[in-house]
Amino acid sequence: NAGVTQTPKFQVLKTGQSMTLQCAQDMNHNSMYWYRQDPGMGLRLIYYSASEGTTDKGEVPNGYNVSRLNKREFSLRLESAAPSQTSVYFCASSVTPGRDSYGYTFGSGTRLTVV
Amino acid sequence: AQSVTQLDSQVPVFEEAPVELRCNYSSSVSVYLFWYVQYPNQGLQLLLKYLSGSTLVESINGFEAEFNKSQTSFHLRKPSVHISDTAEYFCAVSDINTGFQKLVFGTGTRLLVSP
């Protein structure tokens, strides 16, 4: 099925542990994004990759790192997890802007709990 | 920087009643506007978008939104809601002149439809 695939779907970490959230898209999209969703705060951009080989910080990058492994894959790493990183994480992708193609495709999310 | 305001965090409504979910954005520059819907435990799906042309845009399931440049608004409406419309709705905006798509999301409005 075409789309954005995120793994894992659920994860519980202890404070201080590290982990990598994986994201892959098979739509040949150029840009990829990582958001976190918290109650009452909507979606906040953590990092994005406008094109293969580039990454940039978003609104809330502290405590995270990313890797754009290739055009398909964009991973998010938590080096030392903290309870404040308990959230639902969404990966999204988009094409280079073209009138009818504008808009993101989202993955189904990773629910992360840090205890 | 762009910002999006969704003043209503939750909107309760009875089935078959009309509903309006409000969205205002900050920028006076040319923008693209979007509404996304998130059903429980799922990712976000594009509901409708305004890129140019007619200021009234419609979705396939009966929602519509009107772009009002003077009021910097993009309110979402439906004349008669169904139980299945219960979801969280996010308004998003993107500047036209960025070289790639970078959406800024509002904090979301939870639509609760009851019998």
C-alpha distance from B107 to closest chain A C-alpha (Å): 4
Indicate if the alpha-carbon torsion angle A12, A15, A17, A22 is positive or negative: positive
- The pLDDT of residue A97 is 62
pLDDT in tens, A76-105: 999 999 999 999 999 999 886 655 567 789
**CA A49 centroid distance within chain:** 10
Residues in chain A: 115
CB contact under 8 A, A48 and B102: yes
- State the Cα–Cα distance between residues A43 and B23, nearest whole angstrom: 15
pLDDT, one tens digit per residue, over B54-110 is 889 999 889 999 999 899 999 999 999 999 999 999 999 988 776 567 788 999 999
Interface membership of B44 toward A (CB under 8 Å)? yes
| The pLDDT of residue A13 is above 80 | yes
B38-63 residue pLDDT tens: 998 888 999 999 988 888 999 988 99
Hey, of A51, A94, A104, A108, which one would you mutate to test binding to chain B, going by the most B CBs within 10 A of its CB? A104
Nearest chain B CA: its distance from A27 CA (Å): 16
Residue A58: the pLDDT is 92
Give the closest residue to B14 by CA, choosing from B111, B91, B90, B89. B111
Length of chain B: 115
How far is C-alpha A83 from the geometric centre of its chain's CA atoms?
Answer: 18
Tell me if chain A has a CB within 8 Å of the CB of B53: no
pLDDT in tens, A25-83: 999 888 999 999 998 888 999 999 988 889 999 999 999 999 998 999 999 999 999 99
Q: In whole angstroms, what is the distance from residue A18 CA to residue A64 CA? A: 10
Q: Which residue of B has its CA nearest to A33?
A: B102
Query: Is the separation of the CB atoms in B37 and B49 below 8 Å?
Result: no
Whether residue A8 has a cis bond before it, omega within 30° of 0: yes
The beta-carbon neighbor of B100 closest among A96, A99, A100 is: A96
Q: Residue A99's pLDDT is what?
A: 54
